[in-house]
C-alpha cells in the first residue's frame, strides 16, 4: 500500500499537481498519516521534503481569494431593479393575487415581496389559471408550473416541496418549513361507552384487586396463627381462604355483611379495607361525571388501506398536488377492485375539496357521504381555516420540506438563500406563518373541541344497566340451580325413605310368615 501511495505522490510531483485529498504517508516519516480536509489540502515540497498546506503557495492562495470574491459578488448581487417573474396558481393564504393579479400576497407571496425589497429587484407575478404544479410528458417536456420554468417564461416558484425527482429542472432555496401529507376528516364526537373501565388505568385496577387479594390472604394467615393458639379440633369454627377473600371484596364494595365471628377476628383489617374503599370511591365519583359527559374522537380508520377496505369514506385529493403521482401509486397499491378506485376522486382546486367535505358533513341526512381529504398540513392550515374543522388521522404518508425554487442554472440563487436566512434569523418568516397559517377556524367547526351540553342518554349508562341485568340474570340462574338441587336431593331422600320402609315391611312380613 505504501508503494502505491509513493507512486501517486511521485506522479503528482512530476505534474506539479500535488494537492492531496487523502491521508498520505510522508516519505521521511512513514509512522504517521495526515488527514486533510478538502479545503485545506496538502502539496509536496521538494525544498523541505515534506507536505505543506497548499494555500501557503501564493498561486493557490490568490486563486482561492479570486473564487471567494466571485462567490461574494453572486451572494450580494444588486439586481438594480431587474424584473423577475414569479409563477404560481392562487392557493388560499399561501399565494394570493390582488390588484388584477399584479401583486402577490399570502405567506409565500409576502416572503418574496420582502426579498424583492431587500435585494432590489422587481417582482412580476404570473398567475397560473390551471392548478397544476407540473408533470413530465411522454416527450420529456413538462406542463404546468414546471413547464413555465422549462420554457424560460418565469424564474421563481414561491412554494415547492423538496423532491429528488425535480432536481434536473429546479434548484431549491433553503427550506422554509416542513410539511407532512395526511388524510383529514370531519371529526365525529362520541361518548365513551366503556367509561367505567377507562376511569382508572389497567395498572390501577390490577393494583386494587391485588391489594384486596393480599388483605384476604393476610386475614387467612392471621386465622391460621390463631388455630395453633386454640387447642380445639373443630375446624368448622374457622373460615377458608376463599371465604376471607370473598368477605374482603364484599367489604370493599359495600356488598353483604361479614359474620360476627369472622369480623371480630379481623376487625382492624376490615376497618382498613372500608376506609381504603371509601377513598377509592371518592376518587371514582370525582371523575365519573366528567367521563360520563365527555366525548372523544375515535378515528374510523388508521391509514389509506383501512379506509379503502374497512370504511365507507371517499378520498378527495388535489389534482395539481406536488405528490400527485406518488399518491396515485399508493391508491394502486391498496385498491383491490374497481369500486375502490371509484372511491378516490381528484378535485381541480384545493378549495373544492374542503367545500365538498364540509358540505357533506353538515348534511342532516343519516346516510350522508363521508369524505377524507388528502392534504399537506401547511395548506390545511391555510385553507381549512375558512371552512370547517378537519382533523388528521393516522401517520403521515409523505414528509418533505417546503422551499421556494428557481430554474436550475439561475446565477444568483445564493442571494435568495441568504435573504431567507436573514428572515429566519430575525423572525420575520415566523411572523408571516403566524399571520397566514394560524389555527383559528372561522367556519362552523370552531366549536368542535367543546361540544354543547347534552342530557345523559341510554348510550352513556347502558353499561351500568348491563352489569345490573347480568347480575340479576346470574342470581336467577343460581336460584334455579339451588331449587333444582334441593328438589333432586329431597326426591332422593324420599325415595330412600320409601325404600327403607318397604324393606322393613318385607322383613317384618317374612318374620311373621316364618313364625306361623
What's the pLDDT score for residue 36? 37
Q: How confident is the model at residue 228 (pLDDT cuts 50, 70, 90)?
A: low
Q: Is position 268 within any domain?
A: yes
Please state whether the predicted TM-score (pTM) of the whole model is above 0.75. no
pLDDT at 295 > cutoff 90: no
Q: Is position 281 within any domain?
A: yes
Q: Of 75, 96, 123, which closes a domain?
A: 75
pLDDT at 123 > cutoff 90: yes
Mean pLDDT over 302-327 rounds to 83
Q: Is position 257 within any domain?
A: yes
Q: How confident is the model at residue 230 (pLDDT cuts 50, 70, 90)?
A: low
What's the pLDDT score for residue 29? 32
Q: Is position 273 within any domain?
A: yes
The Cβ of residue 34 has, within 10 Å, a number of other Cβ atoms equal to: 14
Q: How confident is the model at residue 222 (pLDDT cuts 50, 70, 90)?
A: confident
Q: Is residue 27 classed exposed, middle or buried when 0-12, 13-18 and 19+ CB atoms within 10 A define those classes?
A: middle
Q: Is position 508 within any domain?
A: yes
pLDDT at 111 > cutoff 60: yes
Task: State the residue for C-alpha cell 367556519.
Answer: 443
| DSSP string of 93-160, one letter each residue | TTBEEETTTTEEEHHHHHHHHHHHHHHT-EEEEEE-SS-----B-TTS-B-HHHHHHHTTS--EEEEE
**Residue 415: which residues within 8 A CB-CB, separation 6 or more?**
74, 75, 76, 77, 119
Mean pLDDT over 409-424 rounds to 90
What's the pLDDT score for residue 505? 66
Q: Of 293, 315, 347, which closes a domain?
A: 293
The 10s digit of each residue's pLDDT in 56-107 is 777 777 777 777 777 777 777 888 889 999 999 888 788 999 999 899 999 9
Q: Of 244, 278, 293, which closes a domain?
A: 293
Q: Is position 373 within any domain?
A: no
d(CA 357, CA 361): 6
What's the pLDDT score for residue 502? 65
The answer to whether 253 touches 270, Cβ cutoff 8 Å, is: no
Q: Is position 91 within any domain?
A: no
Split into its structural domains, the chain has a count of: 3
What's the pLDDT score for residue 39? 43
What's the pLDDT score for residue 306? 86
Q: Is position 263 within any domain?
A: yes
pLDDT at 156 > cutoff 60: yes
Q: What percent of the chain has pLDDT over 70?
A: 76
Mean pLDDT over 470-479 rounds to 85
Mean pLDDT over 303-311 rounds to 87
Q: Which structural domain, as residue segments, surrounds residue 500? A: 465-516
Amino acid at each position: 500500500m505504501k508503494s502505491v501511495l509513493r507512486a501517486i505522490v511521485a506522479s503528482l510531483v512530476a505534474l506539479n499537481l500535488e494537492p492531496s485529498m487523502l491521508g498520505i504517508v510522508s516519505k521521511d516519516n512513514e509512522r504517521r498519516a495526515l488527514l486533510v480536509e478538502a479545503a485545506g489540502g496538502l502539496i509536496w515540497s521538494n525544498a523541505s521534503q515534506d507536505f505543506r498546506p497548499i494555500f501557503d503557495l501564493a498561486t493557490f492562495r490568490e486563486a482561492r481569494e479570486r473564487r471567494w470574491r466571485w462567490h461574494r459578488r453572486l451572494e450580494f448581487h444588486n439586481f438594480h431593479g431587474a424584473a423577475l417573474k414569479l409563477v404560481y396558481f392562487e392557493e388560499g393564504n399561501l399565494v394570493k393575487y390582488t390588484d388584477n393579479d399584479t401583486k402577490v400576497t399570502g405567506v409565500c407571496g409576502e416572503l418574496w415581496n420582502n426579498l424583492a425589497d431587500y435585494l432590489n429587484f422587481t417582482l412580476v407575478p404570473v398567475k397560473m389559471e390551471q392548478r397544476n404544479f407540473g408533470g413530465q410528458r411522454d416527450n420529456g417536456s413538462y406542463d404546468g408550473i414546471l413547464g413555465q420554468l422549462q420554457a424560460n417564461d418565469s424564474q421563481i416558484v414561491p412554494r415547492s416541496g423538496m423532491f429528488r425527482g425535480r432536481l434536473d429542472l429546479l434548484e431549491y432555496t433553503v427550506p422554509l418549513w416542513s410539511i407532512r401529507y395526511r388524510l383529514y376528516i370531519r371529526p365525529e364526537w362520541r361518548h365513551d361507552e366503556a367509561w367505567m373501565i377507562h376511569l382508572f388505568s389497567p395498572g390501577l385496577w390490577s393494583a386494587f384487586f391485588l391489594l384486596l387479594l393480599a388483605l384476604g390472604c393476610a386475614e387467612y394467615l392471621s386465622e391460621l396463627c390463631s388455630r395453633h393458639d386454640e387447642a380445639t379440633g373443630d375446624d368448622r369454627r374457622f373460615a377458608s381462604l376463599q371465604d376471607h377473600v370473598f368477605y374482603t371484596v364484599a367489604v370493599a364494595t359495600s356488598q353483604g355483611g361479614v359474620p360476627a365471628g369472622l369480623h371480630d377476628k379481623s376487625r382492624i383489617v376490615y376497618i382498613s379495607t372500608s376506609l381504603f374503599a371509601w377513598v377509592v370511591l371518592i376518587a371514582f365519583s370525582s371523575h365519573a361525571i366528567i367521563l360520563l359527559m365527555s366525548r372523544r374522537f375515535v378515528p374510523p380508520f388508521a391509514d389509506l388501506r383501512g379506509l379503502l377496505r374497512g370504511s365507507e369514506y371517499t378520498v378527495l385529493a388535489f389534482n395539481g398536488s406536488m405528490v400527485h403521482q406518488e399518491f396515485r401509486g399508493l391508491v394502486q397499491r391498496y385498491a383491490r377492485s374497481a369500486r375502490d378506485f371509484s372511491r378516490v376522486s381528484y378535485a381541480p382546486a384545493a378549495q373544492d375539496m374542503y367545500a365538498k367535505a364540509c358540505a357533506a358533513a353538515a348534511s342532516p341526512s343519516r346516510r350522508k357521504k363521508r369524505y377524507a381529504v388528502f392534504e399537506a398540513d401547511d395548506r390545511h392550515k391555510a385553507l381549512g381555516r375558512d371552512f370547517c374543522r378537519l382533523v388528521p388521522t393516522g401517520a403521515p404518508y409523505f414528509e418533505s420540506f417546503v422551499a421556494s425554487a428557481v430554474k436550475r442554472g439561475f446565477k444568483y440563487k445564493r442571494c435568495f438563500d441568504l435573504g431567507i436566512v436573514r428572515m429566519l434569523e430575525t423572525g420575520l418568516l415566523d411572523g408571516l406563518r403566524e399571520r397566514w397559517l394560524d389555527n383559528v377556524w372561522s367556519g362552523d367547526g370552531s366549536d368542535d373541541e367543546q361540544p354543547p351540553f347534552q342530557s345523559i342518554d341510554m348510550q352513556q349508562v347502558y353499561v351500568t344497566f348491563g352489569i345490573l341485568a347480568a347480575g340479576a340474570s346470574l342470581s336467577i340462574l343460581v336460584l334455579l340451580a339451588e331449587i333444582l338441587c334441593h328438589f333432586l336431593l329431597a326426591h332422593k331422600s324420599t325415595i330412600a325413605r320409601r325404600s327403607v320402609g318397604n324393606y322393613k315391611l318385607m322383613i317384618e312380613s317374612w318374620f311373621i310368615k316364618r313364625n306361623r
